[in-house]
Amino acid sequence: MSLKTLFFTLALGATTIVASSSLNPAQSYKLVTSGKSCAAAGLIAITDQTECKNANNNVNNPMTYDIIDLQMMNAKDSNIKLFDRHDEPHGCLRNCWHGTCTRLDLNSRKAELTTQSCSTKLKCLCKTKPTTHKFVKLPKNTNCLEGSDITEESECKEAIQDLGLKENSWWTGNHGNIPAGCTWRDYDHHNAHWNAYTSGPGKPRNDLHPICLFKTQAEIQAAKQKVIESENARKAAEQQRVEAEQQRVEAQKALQAAEAERKLQAEQAEQAERDAIAADKERVSALLIKHHSTVAANFDFAANFDCTSMSLEKIQSCASCGKLSYGLNVETRDEYFELGIKNCLGCKDYMYCMYKGITTK
In a domain, 1, yes or no: no
109 and 29 in a common domain: yes
Q: Give the Cα separation of 211 and 159 in Å (integer).
A: 7
Q: What is the average pLDDT value for the chain, to the nearest integer?
A: 77
Answer yes or no: is 348 within a domain.
yes
**pLDDT exceeding 70 applies to what percent of the chain?**
71
Residue 118 to residue 15: CA distance in whole angstroms: 9
Q: Which of 142, 272, 259 is nearest to 211 (CA)?
A: 142
| Residue 2 belongs to a domain | no
DSSP state of 90: S
pLDDT category, 10, cuts 50, 70, 90?
very low
283 and 309 co-located in one domain: no
225 and 266 assigned to the same domain: yes
Name which residue leads in pLDDT, 108 or 350: 108
**146: pLDDT strictly greater than 50:** yes
Q: Quick check: 80 and 101 in contact, CB under 8 A?
A: no
Tell me the pLDDT band of 54, cut-offs 50, 70 and 90.
confident
State the angle between helix axes of 333-343 and 312-326 in degrees (0 to 180), rounded to the nearest 10: 120
**What does DSSP say about strands 80-83 and 103-107: parallel, antiparallel, or unpaired?**
parallel
Same domain, 154 and 194: yes
Distance CA 124, CA 35 (A): 10
User: Does some domain include residue 4?
Assistant: no
**Three-state SS string across 230-290, please?**
HHHHHHHHHHHHHHHHHHHHHHHHHHHHHHHHHHHHHHHHHHHHHHHHHHHHHHHHHHHHH
- Whole-number Å distance between alpha carbons of 142 and 159: 17
In this predicted structure, what is the pLDDT of residue 225? 83
> Does any domain span residue 238?
yes
User: Do residues 285 and 322 both lie within one domain?
Assistant: no
Position 230 scores a pLDDT of 86
Asked if residue 320 and residue 277 are part of one domain, the reply reads no
* Residues 91 and 157 reside in one and the same domain: no
Question: Residue 101 has what pLDDT?
Answer: 82
Which pLDDT tens digit goes with each residue over 193-242? 999 999 989 999 999 999 999 877 777 777 778 878 888 999 999 999 99
pTM of the model: 0.34
pLDDT of 329 strictly over 80? no
Exposed (0-12), middle (13-18) or buried (19+): which is 141, by Cβ within 10 Å? middle
- The whole-number pLDDT of residue 283 equals 75
2 pLDDT higher than 50: no
- Going along the chain, which residue ranges are E strands? 10-12, 15-24, 27-32, 44-45, 80-83, 91-95, 103-107, 122-127, 135-137, 170-173, 181-184, 192-195, 209-213
Are 106 and 187 part of one and the same domain?
no
Of residues 330 and 122, more confidence is placed in 122
Flag whether pLDDT at 247 surpasses 50: yes
Q: pLDDT at residue 136 above 70? A: yes
Task: Please check whether residues 345 and 244 belong to one and the same domain.
Answer: no
Say if CB 105 and CB 83 are below 8 A apart: yes
- C-alpha span between 276 and 273 (Å, rounded): 5
Write down which residue in 83, 99, 127 finishes a domain: 127
Q: Provide the 8-state DSSP code for 77.
A: G
110 and 56 in a single domain? The answer is yes
Name which residue leads in pLDDT, 321 or 123: 123
Residue 257 has pLDDT above 90, yes or no: yes
Distances (CA, A) of 324 to 34, 299, 328, 334, 340: 138, 21, 7, 15, 9
* DSSP 8-state code for residue 111: G
pLDDT, mean of residues 355-360: 56
Residue 189 CB-half CA count within 13 A: 0
Distance from C-alpha of 108 to C-alpha of 90, rounded to nearest angstrom: 6
What residues does 123 pair with on adjacent strands? 94
Q: Minimum mean pLDDT among 131-145, 307-321, 338-352: which range?
A: 338-352
* pLDDT of 351 higher than 80: no
The answer to whether residue 42 scores a pLDDT higher than 70 is yes
pLDDT of residue 73: 46
Exposed, middle or buried, 19 (CB in 10 Å: 0-12/13-18/19+)? Answer: buried
81 part of a folded domain = yes
Per-residue model confidence (pLDDT) at position 266:
92
Intra-chain end-to-end CA distance of the chain, in Å? 132
280-285: average pLDDT: 73
Q: What is the pLDDT of residues 77-93, one digit of tens each?
A: 456 788 899 999 999 99
pLDDT of amino acid 179: 94
Last residue of a domain, one of 194, 215, 236: 215
Q: What is the mean pLDDT of residues 334-345?
A: 66
Mean pLDDT over residues 136-142, rounded? 91
Examine the pLDDT at 331 and tell me if it is beyond 90. Answer: no
- When computed from its CA atoms, the radius of gyration of the chain, rounded to whole angstroms, is 57
Question: Is 345 part of a structural domain of the chain?
Answer: yes
Q: Which of 258, 279, 297 is the last residue of a domain?
A: 297
Give yes or no for a contact between 44 and 28, defined as CB atoms under 8 angstroms apart: no
Cα–Cα–Cα angle for 233, 217, 232, rounded to 5 degrees: 10
Structural domains counted in the chain: 4
Q: Does 361 reside within a domain? A: no
CA distance 176 to 170: 18
Q: Is there a single domain that holds both residue 23 and residue 120?
A: yes
Determine the structural domain holding residue 80 and report its residue range.
10-127
pLDDT mean over 8-23? 33
Give residue 323's region: left, alpha or beta (phi > 0; psi -120 to 50). alpha
Highest-confidence range of 8-17, 230-239, 285-294, by mean pLDDT? 230-239
Domain identity same for 303 and 230: no
d(CA 346, CA 322): 12
Q: Are 70 and 95 in contact (CB under 8 A)?
A: no
